[in-house]
Amino acid sequence: MTTRRQMLQAGGGLVLSSLTDLSALADDSYPAREVHVIAAYPPGSGADVFTRYFAENMRPFLGGTVIVENKVGASGNLALIYVSKAKPDGYTVLIHAPSAIAANLSLFKNPGYEASAFDVLGTVCRLPFTLSVSPNSPHKTLQSLIAAVRAKGANASYGTTAPTGQVAGAMMKNILKLAVVEVPYRTAADSVNDLDSGAVDYMMYDPIFAIPRHREGKVRVLAISSKERMTAVPDIPTIDESGVPGVDIMGWWGVAVPAGVPQPIKDKISSAFLKMAERPETKEWLSNLGGDAWVVGPAEAQAQMLKDVKNWADYVRIANMEPKG
């Protein structure tokens, strides 16, 4: 006679078998429709160019149609909120800077999400910000610029376009006790005329905007915000080594999904993204634009984002910045 325990064991086996079958089915059938990749900044911006390049080049490895949607506003926060609340089915994917997910938790009083709302599935590159001046500027070194800015006092100004640049600029201002005034711009392109005319003394640009223009002589990058130099532009010194000790901040790019996406689907997204990131063509493209390739898998990427949550709390404190909103 079949005992109750035997029946329960048999039933448990059937449930486990069914879950395994469903897991395999999810892996086999995904993607069954368009995958929507979310871009956090306006079309044509450096961040948008990144998102679209990575989305398009992971598509052959993913094996389906990929559509990029721009969700713009609040320093990228609208896109992060949108993805955090999306259905965890693998059809809403964020290709963005997970460092920004961490940053906005400290930059906003109420960011609208928690770090636990995201699973980061891989990385592609590191991106320190640049301290840049007009090519017509008399300043060839950061120390020369600092001396001029100190002499101008509150009449000196610098521009920012993104959170990493805002914090790096504020850190330098606070460390050196400068009176320089920050001028925020919606996009880097919006600031070009003011930089060239001298309306602002320097800009904290993302490297995707600044490095190609530096190579073309359209902007002069004096220093970068990471502790170590970039392999893409090894001749450019860091802010730290240029006489502002303690500035070590950068963004990094990867792929993330809302928490709760089935593991087989996460594995497929991660695999497609990392295969794209490892391509020699991708690394060459990054180097040409001023990015340093950095490719790691889900465990290390997720751990780095969680570490950055603490790091950004420290950055904002050192920069003496008040959270927005």
pLDDT at 305: 97
One domain, residues 121 and 157: no
**Which of these three, 182, 207, 224, is where a domain ends?**
224
Overall number of domains in the chain: 2
Listed residues 224, 259, 286: the one ending a domain: 224
Residues with Cβ within 8 Å of residue 319, at least 6 apart in sequence: 167, 170, 171, 173, 174
What pLDDT shows up at residue 42? Answer: 87
CATH for 142: 3.40.190.10
Percent of the chain with pLDDT over 70: 92
Q: How confident is the model at residue 135 (pLDDT cuts 50, 70, 90)?
A: very high
Tell me whether residue 9 is in a domain.
no
What pLDDT is recorded for position 3? 53
Asked whether residue 257 falls in the same domain as residue 298, the answer is yes
Question: Rg for the chain (alpha carbons), in Å?
Answer: 22
Same domain, 119 and 143: no
Closest of 301, 325, 320, 322 to residue 102, by C-alpha? 301
Reply yes or no on whether the pLDDT at 26 is more than 70: no
**What is the model's pLDDT at position 314?**
92
| Chain segment 152-190, per-residue pLDDT in tens | 999 999 999 888 899 999 999 999 999 999 999 988 999
pLDDT of residue 46: 79
In a domain, 155, yes or no: yes
Residues 39 and 110 grouped into a single domain: yes
Contact 186, 161 (CB under 8 A): yes
pLDDT of residue 121: 98
What pLDDT is stored for residue 8 in this prediction?
42
Q: Which of 174, 208, 224 is the last residue of a domain?
A: 224
Q: Are residues 45 and 93 in the same domain?
A: yes
Q: Do 119 and 202 belong to one domain?
A: no
pLDDT reported for residue 9? 52
* Residues 117 and 40 reside in one and the same domain: yes
Question: What average pLDDT does the structure give for the chain?
Answer: 91
**Per-residue model confidence (pLDDT) at position 221:** 98
The mean pLDDT value for 276-289 works out to 95
Instruction: Evaluate whether residue 291 is within a structural domain.
Output: yes
What burial letters (b/e) apply to 11-45, b meaning 16+ CB within 10 Å?
eeeeeeeeeeeeeeebeeebbeeebbbbbbbeeeb
95 lies in a domain?
yes
The answer to the question of residue 5 being in a domain is no
Clarify whether residues 277 and 310 are in a common domain. Answer: yes
What is the CATH number for 120?
A: 3.40.190.150
Instruction: Answer for the pair 201, 180: CB distance below 8 angstroms, yes or no.
Output: yes
What's the confidence (pLDDT) of residue 2? Answer: 46
- Enclosing domain of residue 107: 31-127+250-319
pLDDT band at 208 (very low <50, low <70, confident <90, very high): confident
What is the pLDDT averaged over residues 85-102?
97
> Does residue 8 lie within any of the structural domains?
no
274 and 205 belong to one structural domain: no
Task: Give yes or no for residue 18 having a pLDDT over 70.
Answer: no
Instruction: Kindly report, residue by residue over 67-82, the tens digit of the pLDDT.
Output: 999 999 888 899 999 9
| Predicted TM-score of the model (pTM) | 0.81
Which pLDDT band holds residue 247 (cuts at 50, 70, 90)?
very high
217 SS3 class: coil
Mean pLDDT, range 126-140, rounded to an integer: 97
Cis bond upstream, residue 212 (ω within 30): no
